[in-house]
A and B are shown apart, each in its own frame.
Chain A
């Protein structure tokens, strides 16, 4: 019975070749995908890092103000500051690596790195203030972080913004 079926089953028709236009479209899509995944230029890399650092600076600023006014409790502020410090240190490492590999633009990259170090130091100062319950010191840090935020905004190329 099986043999009969095998014999009578018509042969599968040859697989249709894709028309050239469809193949070109697939190839174009693949090239676009690859280029978008690999083609980040040094300026875009710095801009991407700048956005992340600016986001953390804004978080730090909000944390300062909210903790001072008692909107967020001290245990939360402590943990959030730990996360901010870790993020700053990771950013610093990434930037240093990218600068030494030539993947990030030298001048704005180095300037951004300086801001990261400053913010890291401010985060440490704020963590100390939170641990001591010193709200006046937090106010001073808030003003300094606000300055950093402005400097970071001026670093932006202006072509990409949040």
Chain B
């Protein structure tokens, strides 16, 4: 019964915690510019993240290791340091995007520019993390995050042409703006397959003291939670294709995003969007912050646990405090949150091999996962999707920055 409760709660929190500024912005841009043509990118990202989350939970349940501590032990300090620097830089940009998302939702609600919200939002995040336990941070934000299901309701209510949506599941060549198409595909993949997501999941599994008998629960949570979560991203893309594309609205600025739910919900559409964006980004911002602190603390062997009091893990607490300040600074100086989001998601895709290749080595190492090693399907799916994301990112990011045709 206890496991069944945990399973239900796990799926609910995965669904509620799935959506964040990256998935919303990239899927909305994809739908607004290319209709249903990028459905495949959302699905591919979803499949990859299901595999990765399941694997990270399995690693934690069987070995009792989180990913960063296992990487440091297996590959040595030098590789860990390299991974830490790369991931910390990219994840800091992601943190800036998520804080930016909360600030943008507050700007939409109040009319006060998003930069002014950076410090209050940072303070709120810090207070919740400082005072709350791991379960509180995870469950409270994820359960509130269930409001994001309004995207699914909205998409279904507008009766999309399901045949066209299904055809979009097969990758195809764009009829226009080829570079933009591939760049958005990369950003969608980067938003779905964010290392912070499955690193955080493995930390959570260790915090919740998962043992080997949790591998079944883990599988259901990963498939159910991430599967439903991907459905929400897909709904954002479908809504953008239905609402923005026919009107000719490309999502060039975050203010345009707020119109996405109006056709489905009328006056409530704006409120639901603002609530969804604010809650989803606040939850994601706290997860990203904690993951940055977990990664450093686990790699350096410090005390780390959100279930301990801050004075018992002073270095861990100091680390997340510093990252919150740094993330808030990025937003406070006025960097455009939408551009920051799209860029940081593409950069995430470009750096995926740095974290995923050693992770896959661990998942095939008997010393860590005993007889519960990866099957060939799990290995092949993750390698193919990550390779695709990496190649596309390496090709499209420079062209997008320097202005391609």
Q: Which residues of A contact B (CB under 8 A)?
A: 33, 36-37, 39-40, 44, 51-52, 54-59, 61-63, 66, 70-76, 78-80, 83, 87, 149, 160-162
Give the chain B neighbours of A71 by CB distance below 8 A. Answer: 262, 266-267, 269-270
* A51 lies within 8 A of B250 (CB): yes
In the complex, the number of residue pairs spanning A and B with C-beta atoms less than 8 Å apart equals 84
Which of these, A55, A83, A161, contacts B249 with CB under 8 Å?
Answer: A55
Closest chain A residue to B243, Cβ basis: A62
CB distance from B239 to the nearest CB of A (A): 14
Known: A36-B405, A71-B266, A79-B108. A160 touches B255 (CB 8 A): no
In the complex, whether B375 has a CB less than 8 A from a CB of chain A is no
Known: A71-B270, A149-B248. A40 touches B403 (CB 8 A): yes
* A37 lies within 8 A of B404 (CB): yes
Closest chain B residue to A65, Cβ basis: B262
CB distance from B152 to the nearest CB of A (A): 21
CB distance from A136 to the nearest CB of B (A): 20
Q: Chain B 295-331 against A: per-residue CB contact (8 Å), 1 yes, 0 no?
A: 0000000000000000000000000000000000000
* A59 lies within 8 A of B249 (CB): yes
* B179 lies within 8 A of A162 (CB): no
* A72 lies within 8 A of B253 (CB): no
Number of chain B residues whose Cβ lies closer than 8 Å to a Cβ of chain A:
33
Central interface residue in B113, B255, B399, by most chain A CB within 10 Å: B255
CB distance from B363 to the nearest CB of A (A): 32
* B258 lies within 8 A of A36 (CB): no
In the complex, whether B398 has a CB less than 8 A from a CB of chain A is yes
Give the chain A neighbours of B111 by CB distance below 8 A. Answer: 74-76, 78-79
* A72 lies within 8 A of B249 (CB): no
Give the chain A neighbours of B176 by CB distance below 8 A. Answer: 160-162
In the complex, whether B245 has a CB less than 8 A from a CB of chain A is yes
Which of these, A33, A40, A52, A79, contacts B255 with CB under 8 Å?
Answer: A79
CA distance A57 to B399 in the complex (A): 27
* A59 lies within 8 A of B110 (CB): no
Q: Chain B 241-272 against A: per-residue CB contact (8 Å), 1 yes, 0 no?
A: 00001011110110110110010001101100
